[in-house]
Amino acid sequence: SAVISQKPSRDICQRGTSLTIQCQVDSQVTMMFWYRQQPGQSLTLIATANQGSEATYESGFVIDKFPISRPNLTFSTLTVSNMSPEDSSIYLCSVLSGTEAFFGQGTRLTVV
Amino acid sequence: AQSVTQPDIHITVSEGASLELRCNYSYGATPYLFWYVQSPGQGLQLLLKYFSGDTLVQGIKGFEAEFKRSQSSFNLRKPSVHWSDAAEYFCAVGARSGGYNKLIFGAGTRLAVHP
C-alpha cells in the first residue's frame, strides 16, 4: 500500500496568482499522477509524472499552466499558474503501488 | 480511445434495499476495472478491482461486481444498503499493457440512502 500526504488541504487564492501543491508518498514509486475534480464532476487526469523525465500532459492541459516537478521517487509538486475562478477544483495526487492506485485527500482550491 | 460510462448520475435507495450501479466501458482489449467510493470530504477508496480470472469480484464493505465482456459492463452490487453507503461511486478503467499507466474515470453516481 501507499500513504499519500497532500499539502495544503485547501486554499483560497486571488486570481492571477499561483499555488503549488505538494504530494509526499511514504514509499518510492515510479509513477505519480495529478488529477483535477471540478465541482460535481469526475476526476480528470492532468498529467503523469515520472522521476527523471518531463511530465506527460493529457489533452487540454499544458505545462505553462500546470508545471510539475518530480525531484525524487517520493515527492512531486503541481503548480496551478495564473489562476482564474475556472481553476477552482479539487486537485488530487495519485500513485501506483503494485496494481492499485492510491489517492491523496486532495487540495480544495477556490479562486476568487 | 478508452472511456467509461456511468448512466445513472444519481440513485436513491431505502436502507436495507439492494443496489446495483451500472458501468460500461470502451476499450479494445481486456481492461483493468475498478470501483472507487468517495465519501463527502474524503479521498477515494478502492472498493474492488478486476484484472482477470473469476468474473465475479468481491470487495470491501459487502460490495461485489461482475465483469461481463459481452456487455462491456462492470456493474457494482450490494444486497443490502446501509445508511453509511451514501457517497459518490466512480467506475474506472486502466489501460492494460503489462500493467496500466493511467486510470480513466466515469462521471460518477451519487448514492443517497433513505432511512
Q: A48 and B102 in contact by Cβ < 8 A?
A: yes
Q: What are phi and psi of B99, to 5 degrees?
A: 150, -155
B51 vs A31, A33, A99: nearest CB:
A99
Cell 466501458 belongs to residue: B25
Q: Does the pLDDT of residue A107 top 90, yes or no? A: yes
What pLDDT does residue B100 have?
61
Note the pLDDT tens digit of each residue in A15-30: 999 999 999 999 999 8
φ/ψ region of A63 (left if φ > 0, alpha if ψ in -120 to 50, else beta) reads alpha
First to last CA, chain B: 41
pLDDT band at A46 (very low <50, low <70, confident <90, very high): very high
Q: Are B86 and B78 in contact (CB under 8 A)?
A: no
Interface of B with A in 31-50 (CB under 8 A): 32, 34, 42-44, 46, 49
Q: How far is A14 from chain B (nearest CA, A)?
A: 23
pLDDT band at A4 (very low <50, low <70, confident <90, very high): very high
CA atoms of A61 and A56, how far apart (whole Å): 10
What pLDDT does residue A41 have?
86
Q: Which of B6, B9, B20, B28 is nearest to B81 (CA)?
A: B20
CA atoms of B89 and B67, how far apart (whole Å): 17
What pLDDT does residue A97 have?
79
Q: Are A20 and A78 in contact (CB under 8 A)?
A: yes
Q: What percent of chain B has pLDDT over 90?
A: 71
Cell 460500461 belongs to residue: B24
Chain B residues whose beta carbon lies within 8 Å of the beta carbon of residue A100: 46, 49
What pLDDT does residue B96 have?
57
Sign of CA dihedral A105, A108, B1, B7: positive
What is chain B's mean pLDDT, rounded? 90
pLDDT band at B1 (very low <50, low <70, confident <90, very high): confident
SS3 content of chain A, % helix, strand, coil (to 5): 5, 55, 45
Note the pLDDT tens digit of each residue in B49-98: 998 888 999 999 999 999 999 999 999 999 999 999 999 999 999 875 45
Q: How far is A107 from chain B (nearest CA, A)?
A: 10
Note the pLDDT tens digit of each residue in A47-94: 999 887 889 899 899 999 999 999 999 999 999 999 999 999 999 999
